[in-house]
Structure 1
């Protein structure tokens, strides 16, 4: 079924689920089997060769997992999708399957810490050249791309400083030199932003975050052009970073409320960002929904909402961070983001724990920065909680 003309909330519920399930089940069955039996050898062969629909072995494909892949493809307007055991599996498998020794990657300095580690430490070991540009310097990005590259990797808004990249503009430059363009859309979610509509080839999600929405399951998703998905699938088939059907079911269930949660989190995050922006103990606030934010105008053009994540820098350094966070009630001091409950922490323990303090400093991430992932709690209670915490700063 074509979901291109339906609203996102409808696609979140129905995409991948319009066919009848086993014994008339109205919810997606969890198909916990390793292998699939065939009575006819010729049919088995045709499925194994990919000439007809079907499943052979759950490391490769599985009916429950396939529903999830159809769902994210519909939400992002993609030709196809593939799932992974984690978000980092999605990122690493995508890069390692599309790149080869001698290739060149152009990306940005503000990408997620695990992604940065791949760029800074692992790809160079395979003789893959990586150039990281200042994230919001579009001229520098275009200049490096114009020198020639094979893959451009983007993230917008970025983790953790919420910088915004003009995806359409950079994609145009990348396409001019024949580069594949990959974009991490985890922070925005498909409710707020659809990079494929802006020309991006492949879109990555850590579905562990907003898509699943309850901090109880890990999953990575990649969607985009069919021929590229097929190439990554062939690598993941052998690499083995497959998604278990139990995990797929939990992500599917979480996605049914995706639009409701995102809309609530958009509204709350903007209100909290405005509160923090006027607080005397806050040095700076990073949120593209603020009119004063450098990326606000671009965000307004390519996003439908500004997301449920913000970050802010305190006056007084890391001690101020500890004093604030240790005196708040309605927040989990924990890694991850995009949950129904509010999560917060400094990059040194969350997004960029893999990097040293010096590396974080080079990326412009100070030790007084807090990443704050807004849940679905009442926003008045969250602001009151912040006020109480600030009394101890």
Structure 2
């Protein structure tokens, strides 16, 4: 991993400015050219040097520069630096997708015979790594009940190379006590990794609670416009250097155009997340009043199992919620197509509202039996709140629920 000189702008944004200001300005100053006010998209695969001795020093990471875009690229580096500053990490490296960041981090840190302690409620793709891929390499995986912090802490105390957490979780938005569990991990010498995709650095900074590495699927809230795939790992310089080396050799490189789109999206991150969080709270409270809604999952609700922990470690409660309908999947089949202001799609964190059942979004890789074991009912709907007016979204949900009630009137008497 090449560490480029920090200009004065980046140094200031490491320490003093509000996150909204950092989201707009951080990480970009070094890469402006010819007076440009925006970071350029550098599509060049390779970078040339007339002086072969200087070229060698760049290749050996003794001087700053770029050699080949599978390794580093100016546009990509600006994106990494912005995320690094927002999360408060020592270093950052990017990937072609969020799952590439997660798998690359885990396969960098873990070797045969190691033990990893995690929770059952990780994103479906992450869960597959823990349940299917890591065990093939004789890595001991302990999946814990996400709501039982005593059990998680007890398993950590048995020893772990890595403690892997996600908070809020996807799709049931459960909360893990980051400070408590990271402390427990460090007591046994574990590397603590946190997926911060749902919260974003606007809402919480796991590094402030002691996390060694923070991971984002940048495809989601960071980019915010559903037009670019990407992932990023931020944290301790020594660990990020190892993760970067794994990524540069294995090749899951972030494309410069995607990096540019993610950079552009991040300029409005704080505005989007604030609006989405405020709207999600209103929608969650509305759903609690609806007779056809069986359960509502949102950490901002006092009824949430870990509401107190969420209040402690989150500045807002985020733009993600989920809920289940009476009438199981038949009700879901009626409800979803009636929504006017929602994409029915497997994505989240976008400016538009995006909705779908867990069985075709977060946990499509799992069987119905596996989803049931994870506490995910087939009628669970994941609702990613966009930046639309919340009253319009509420009216939209209401008319879709009315349609379900019209077609399945017996549900109102159960």
TM-score higher than 0.5 here? yes
Q: Within 1, Cα distance between the matches of 2:338 and 2:30?
A: 50
**Aligned with residue 122 of structure 1, among 128, 133, 151:** 133
CA distance in 2, matches of 1:121, 1:236: 21
How many angstroms does 1:18 deviate by? 2.3
RMSD (Å) for aligned C-alpha atoms: 0.7
Matches of 1:83 and 1:224, distance apart in 2: 12
What is the CA distance between 1:20 and its match in structure 2? Answer: 5.8
Matching of residue 229 in structure 1 with residue 230 in structure 2: no
Alignment of structure 1 residues 104-253 onto 2, 5 Å: 104-253=115-264
How far does residue 24 in structure 1 lie from its aligned partner after superposition?
Answer: 1.4
Contact 2:71–2:253 (8 Å) recurs in 1: yes
- Match of 1:41? 52
Q: Which residue of 2 aligns with 1:301?
A: 312
Matched residue SS, 2:262: helix
Per the TM alignment, residue 19 of structure 1 is displaced from its structure 2 partner at its CA by 3.1
Gapped regions of structure 2 (runs ≥ 5): 1-9, 405-414
Q: Distance in 2 between matches of 1:310 and 1:216?
A: 22
Structure 1 residues 206 and 20: CA distance shift in structure 2, 3 A: closer
Cα 1:20–1:172 shift into 2, 3 Å: closer
Structure 1 residue 128 displacement after superposition: 0.4
Query: How far did 1:189 drift?
Result: 0.6
2:368 aligns with: 357
1:348 match: 359
Corresponding position of 1:334 = 345
1:28 lines up with 2:39 in the alignment:
yes
Q: What secondary structure, in the 3-state scheme, does the structure 2 residue paired with 1:336 have?
A: coil
Distance in structure 2 (CA, Å) of the matches to 1:167 and 1:15: 26
TM-superposition CA deviations, 1:110-144 (whole Å, max 9, x none) = 00000000000000000101010000211000110
Matched residues in 1 for 2:364 and 2:128: separation? 11
The number of equivalent residue pairs is: 393
Instruction: Please list every run of at least 4 consecutive aligned residues from structure 1 whose deviation after the TM superposition is greater than 6 angstroms.
Output: none
Distance in structure 2 (CA, Å) of the matches to 1:32 and 1:350: 32
Quick check: 1:78 aligned with 2:93?
no
Counterparts of 2:76 and 2:186 in 1: how far apart (Å)? 32
- Cross-structure match for 1:263: 274
Q: Aligned residue for 2:389?
A: 378
Q: Which residue of 2 aligns with 1:89?
A: 100
Instruction: Please tell me whether residue 291 in structure 1 is matched to residue 295 in structure 2.
Output: no
1:268-287 alpha-carbon deviations (Å, 9 max, x no partner)? 00000000011111111000
User: Corresponding residue for 2:6?
Assistant: none
Which secondary structure state, in structure 2, belongs to the residue aligned with residue 345 of structure 1?
Answer: strand
1:14-69 deviation digits (Å, cap 9, x = unpaired): 11112362211110011110110111112111111111211010000000000000
Give the TM-score, by structure 1 length: 0.99
**Higher mean Cα deviation, 276-285 or 62-71?**
276-285
Partner SS, residue 22 of structure 1:
coil
> Deviation string for 1:58-89 (max 9, x for gaps)?
00000000000000000000001000000000
Correspondence 1:309-324 to 2 at 5 A: 309-324=320-335
Q: Report what 1:61 is aligned to.
A: 72
SS at match of 2:92: strand
Q: CA offsets per residue over residues 165-215 of structure 1, 9 Å max, x none?
A: 000000010000000000000000110010000000000000000000011
User: What secondary structure sits across from 1:385 in the alignment?
Assistant: helix
> Cα deviation per residue 1:223-273 (whole Å; 9 max; x = unaligned)?
000000000011111100000100000000000000010000010000000
Answer yes or no: is the 8 Å Cα contact 2:27–2:81 preserved in 1: yes
Q: Which runs of 5+ in 1 are unaligned?
A: none
Supply the distance in 2 between the matched residues of 1:292 and 1:362 (Cα, whole angstroms).
22
Instruction: Kindly state the Cα deviation for residue 101 of structure 1 after the two structures are TM-superposed.
Output: 0.4
2: CA distance, partners of 1:111 / 1:117: 9
Q: In 2, Cα distance between the equivalents of 1:210 and 1:375? A: 10
